[in-house]
Amino acid sequence: MSLLRRRKHPFNESFRKPEKEHENGDFSYESKRKKIPYEHEEERPLSKWSCFDTWCWLIGCVCVTWWFILFLYNAMPASFPKYVTEVITGPLPDPPGVKLRKLGLTAKHPVVFVPAAVTGGLELWEGRKCAQGLFRKRLWGGTYGDVYKRPQCWVEHMSLDNETGMDPCGIRVRPISGLVTADGFGSGCFVWTTLVSNLARIGYEEKTMFMAAYDWRLSFQNTQVRDQTLSRIKNNIELMVATSGGQKVVIIPHSTGALFFLHFMKWVEAPPPMGGGGGPYWCSKHIKAVVNIAAPFLGVPKAIPLFLSAESKDISLVRAIAPGFFENDIFQPQILQHVMRLSHSWDSTVSMIPRGGDTIWGGLDWSPEEGYSCDQKREMKNSTLVTNPARAKSAISLTRSANFGRIVSFGKDVAEAPSNDIDRIDFKGAVKGHRAENRTCRDLWTEYNGMGFEGTKAVADYKTYTAESIVELLHFVAPKMMARSTAHFSYGIADNMDDPKYKHYKYWSNPLETTLPNAPEMEIFSFYGTGLLTERAYIYKLSPTAECHIPFQIDSSTNDEETCLKGGVYSVDGDGTVPVLSAGFMCAKAWHGKTKFNPSGIRTYLREYRHSPPTTLLEGRGTLSCAHVDIMRNFALIEDVIRIAAGASGEELGGNRVHSNIFKWSEKINLQL
């Protein structure tokens, strides 16, 4: 009986409460007894819930929920999302096209779109063995699904020849024609779609709209040499004017498309073989207005770190958050080196180097934006203090400004030091060394492989670089790229526009070395965003030396809120990519009235759009955004564009509309007009 009482059913044993562990880590006698397994207990082991199980369960729940939401979204009526948005945010405004159609506006002038670099689609027509199955597939401006599977092959086909700037042997990548080429850049990123759809609401269709697609990787003149792109644009414009009853066209370039079309206006009137042979009045006969959107007429400082270290403000912030991420042997050769390989082979990126030298961008001790504060409230407060003589001294101390003219400085102390205290050693006479042979380095190819440690040290010893010395620096660190660049682009200021050398095409895209056409009835607009911090100057340092690593990098550890320094990047007012100075100076001063750059007195207008971020997630990127690309969806800008296309003049539009200090900054630039 005692034996029967002691032996209990395992079912009851499983419900017994666990024994507590003693302080010494040992278990009680009863606990030890529990651990003695019975024969039938081995057949039913207790399962444990691991961390991996938790993650699998969580991911499964997220996926099921996501697919369920997608199912509901596709099953609901098309008007339901709009109804929900209106309930939360209030009634949505009419799109500009609907609004203006109600006011009686209709299509009048044919419209020509000129896309920016990067936003135009490119497709493969001939490739190497690794690109099998990609014939006429988008290599740029699509979903990139096939690209992710073979990134090395994609880099190989998107790169151009380092010597000629043209197609590598056995590769042909060509621009996609039609409006579809620049509708959107990648999945969910729309560029021209909103503008095109609103123009269609007042009567425009494909025969009255033309997308001037071009291979934006090439230099502007080489688009004509290889693809006859400039001739195609000329023929299409002439056809549109002829078939619309003689109505002149409205040109709408975006970003670098403005530089491309500036080149076109000189090419079309120049005599062959260099030009299109249209005669001195071709633009006057065929163009009503040129509406430039976010145009970097004078280049962008953002191009400099792209060439020096394949970086930007975003990469600098990643370095600040996760130090060492891009220095990892896994990531750096796969990302930054290949970005540098692409950017050094694309001549279009070279066209973005700042133009005008120290006269425009400032020197060691001055810049047009001197005194700019990224905190608008503090800026207003300081301006109030200055008006009070008793507190003027304290105001000066509060308005400490960055030396924006020093576009690249090696060290924060160098960027802030008086110019007389900077001991600079000229780098141009330095003897370049050679790094050890390394197969991986040769495969990646950057021009730093031939610069050596001596050349790297010489660059850092020069301490700081302004807009003029930056061009000399690029000749030193990237001689092959700049050899092509000097054959197709120029970055100076013309003293005498009658000099025969300015008839060469290398000057045609530089507004400071070429003249506008003889078309006094034509109008030129500059539409761009303000209110976003935009890259202007950089703090650099030497990166850890390694065979394949880029020797320079932005010093992301440097910050100074008072001088708009964050993550090694100084910022000024702009649209996030193009500073106000580059987008607005030409129309604000250099082209205003009759000048040596505008001999016929073409009327110019500035229209600035103040950035306003979306208030809710339902607005997406928002219809008030003025970021460099998102401005193409800005309702106020689209309305202005439609009014011009429907026949309005700049005066009827309201003339200039300015939110920034562009006129104040332009007056500081001593340029003989």
Tens of pLDDT, residues 260-277: 999 999 999 999 999 999
CA distances from 534 to 129, 552, 560 (A): 42, 21, 16
Q: Which residues contact 611 (CB under 8 A, 6 or more apart)?
A: 529, 530, 531, 532, 575, 624, 625, 626, 627
Nearest of 208, 312, 214, 173 to residue 646 by alpha carbon: 208
Which of 80-89, 455-464, 473-482 is least confident? Answer: 80-89
Bridge partners of 290? 251, 524
Is the pLDDT reported for residue 507 higher than 80?
A: yes
CATH classification number, 108-321+500-668, choose in 3.30.450.20, 3.40.190.10, 3.40.50.1820, 3.40.190.80: 3.40.50.1820
**From CA 14, how far away is CA 486, in angstroms rounded?**
84
CA distance 601 to 608: 22
**Of residues 532, 216, 163, the one with CA closest to residue 374:** 532
State residue 429's pLDDT score.
Answer: 77
| Structural contact between residues 40 and 10, judged by C-beta atoms closer than 8 angstroms | yes
Q: How far apart are CA 197 and CA 187, in angstroms?
A: 18
**DSSP-based three-state secondary structure for 492:** coil
Question: Which residue of the set 628, 640, 660, 666 is catalytic?
Answer: 628
CA atoms within 13 A on the CB side of 501: 9
* Predicted local distance difference test score (pLDDT) of residue 332: 46
> Each residue of 239-258: pLDDT tens digit?
999 999 999 999 999 999 99
Q: What's residue 427's pLDDT?
A: 85
Confidence check: pLDDT of 618 > 90: no
Summarize pLDDT for 41-75 with one digit per residue, the tens.
Answer: 455 555 666 777 777 888 888 888 888 887 776 77
Q: Given this model, what pLDDT does residue 317 score?
A: 63
- Give dist(CA 463, CA 454) in Å, integer: 15
Which amino acid is it at 281?
Y
More confident residue, 345 or 619: 345
pLDDT at site 432: 74
pLDDT value of position 198:
96
For the chain, what is the radius of gyration of the CA atoms?
A: 31
pLDDT over 70 at 426, yes or no: yes
Q: How far apart are CA 573 and CA 63, in angstroms?
A: 42
Do 206 and 646 touch, CB atoms closer than 8 A?
no
In this structure, are residues 526 and 604 in contact, taking their beta carbons and an 8 Å threshold?
Answer: yes
- Name the least confident of 140-144, 167-171, 211-215, 308-312: 140-144
Q: What is the pTM of this model?
A: 0.83
pLDDT value of position 621: 60
- The pLDDT of residue 390 is 40
Report residue 394 as tokens.
């304290």
Taking residues 500-524, report their average pLDDT. Answer: 96
Catalytic residue among 575, 611, 630, 640: 575
**Is the per-residue pLDDT at 447 higher than 50?**
yes
The one catalytic residue among 219, 255, 343, 571? 255
The pLDDT assigned to 532 comes to 94
628 is catalytic: yes
**What's the full length of the chain, in residues?**
673
Q: Domains of the chain: which residue ranges?
A: 108-321+500-668
Q: Which of residues 395 and 653 earns the better pLDDT score?
A: 653
Does 533 have pLDDT greater than 70?
Answer: yes
* Catalytic status, residue 109: no
Q: Which of 390-394, 421-425, 489-493 has the lowest mean pLDDT?
A: 390-394
The answer to whether the CB of 406 falls within 8 A of the CB of 442 is no
Tokens of 244: 């619309």
Q: Any residues with CB less than 8 A from the CB of 657 and at least 6 apart, and which?
A: 606, 607, 608
**Residue 116: what residue type?**
A
